Structures are given as structure tokens and as C-alpha cells.
């Protein structure tokens, strides 16, 4: 799906496909350097992280395994509460593994701080976080994110895995929605 297919529903393009891919190339090089000679397990958080996982993993030179989790934060509407329920757990034993959680976006940071602590408690050798996007709120929570693609403003964004009502995930760029789409 491309810009023209949904032009009337978008307000802005925040990050182009080219910008996303260029930044992922830089992040992959950094991850390759940091994990040189080590084993690495990428843990993608469904469903938003599928695009980041697919592109970032293919840019890595490091051998990796990939596994997936699905979690849901209890809470009203769009606000994350920090109470997290596992909908789909990993199939991989984390004992002694170097884990890199791959995320699409960090907003309040509550989901990820819970998830990182949960994975650490399973005996992983290390647990780090890579996210394509980070919103300003995330700075308020003590969540140490090692790899950040872009810091973005507070606006709700779609595309590149991120949805509004399950739509727009298959846009190759990140955009903001026109107000009429919400109403």
C-alpha cells in the first residue's frame, strides 16, 4: 500500500520509507557490533513489530533466532495501565540467552518495562530493547531502551506495522491520520 492509496485519510507523512530504512541500517550496524561473537534472540512484540522485525533482522549480519510474544495492557481505551497479560508466550527457553526485544513504538513505556522485567526473571543473560519509535512520555518511566529509531511527537501515528482499528499497518512509511478518520 502506498501514500496515494490513502492520501485523503492522512494528515502528514512523519517518516518516509527511505528514512525508516536508512535508520534501520544504522541500528543494525550498531547491534552487529554490540553482539559480535554472541548468540542473539530477537523477540518481536505482536502485532505492531512485524515490519521492524522483518526489516531489522534482514539488515543484521549476526546470526539470530526469532520468537514472538503477544501481550495486552489492561486499561481504559488507548491508555496503557502497566498491568500486562500475556496472550501468546515465547516458545524459547531464555536461560542464558541474549535477548533483544523488538518493538514498533514506546508510548508510556509501561508495557515494555513490564516485559523486560518478565524476560529477565526467566534467567536470560541479557535483555535489551530496540524500538523504531519513541514518544516523549516514555522518558518518564525507568525503561532503558538501548536502540531507538526516532523520537517523535505525541501524536497518534499509523503505518509500518502500526494501526488505527487494524488498518494502515501495511503502509511502508509512518504518518498521522486526518482528524475526519477518527470521527
Residues involved in catalysis: 107
Length of the chain equals: 183
- Please, what is the minimum distance in Å from the beta carbon of residue 145 to ligand XMP? 10
Q: Which is nearer to Mg ion, 60 or 69 (CB)?
A: 69
Say if residue 47 is preceded by a cis peptide, omega within 30 of 0: yes
Q: Which of 24, 115, 157, 177 binds ligand XMP (CB under 6 A)?
A: 157
Q: Which of residues 112-131 bind ligand XMP (CB under 6 A)?
A: 112
Q: Which residues of 114-140 are buried (b: 16+ CB within 10 A; e: fewer)?
A: bbbebbeeeebebbbbbbbbbbeebee
Is the separation of the CB atoms in 174 and 161 below 8 Å?
no
Q: Which of 44, 48, 109, 159 binds Mg ion (CB under 5 A)?
A: 48
The C-alpha angle 102, 49, 33, rounded to 5 degrees, equals: 30
- Please, what is the minimum distance in Å from the beta carbon of residue 171 to ligand XMP? 11
Count interface residues toward Mg ion (CB under 5 A): 2
Report the interface residues with ligand XMP, using CB under 6 A.
Answer: 48, 73, 80, 104-112, 156-158, 162-163
Amino acid at each position: 500500500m502506498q501514500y496515494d492509496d490513502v492520501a485523503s485519510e492522512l494528515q502528514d507523512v512523519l517518516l518516509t520509507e527511505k528514512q525508516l530504512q536508512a535508520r534501520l541500517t544504522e541500528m543494525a550496524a550498531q547491534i552487529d557490533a554490540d553482539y559480535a561473537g554472541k548468540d542473539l534472540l530477537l523477540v518481536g512484540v505482536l502485532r505492531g513489530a512485524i515490519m521492524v522485525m522483518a526489516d531489522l533482522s534482514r539488515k543484521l549480519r549476526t546470526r539470530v533466532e526469532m520468537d514472538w510474544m503477544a501481550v495486552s495492557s489492561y486499561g481504559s481505551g488507548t491508555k496503557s495501565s502497566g498491568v500486562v497479560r500475556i496472550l501468546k508466550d515465547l516458545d524459547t527457553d531464555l536461560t542464558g540467552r541474549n535477548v533483544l526485544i523488538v518493538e514498533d513504538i514506546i508510548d508510556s513505556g509501561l508495557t515494555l518495562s513490564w516485559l523486560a522485567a518478565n524476560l529477565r526473571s526467566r534467567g536470560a543473560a541479557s535483555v535489551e530493547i530496540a524500538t523504531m519509535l519513541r514518544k516523549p512520555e516514555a522518558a518518564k518511566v525507568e525503561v532503558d531502551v538501548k536502540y531507538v529509531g526516532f523520537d517523535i511527537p505525541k501524536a497518534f501515528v499509523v503505518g509500518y506495522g502500526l494501526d488505527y482499528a487494524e488498518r494502515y499497518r501495511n503502509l511502508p512509511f509512518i504518518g498521522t491520520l486526518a482528524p475526519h478518520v477518527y470521527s
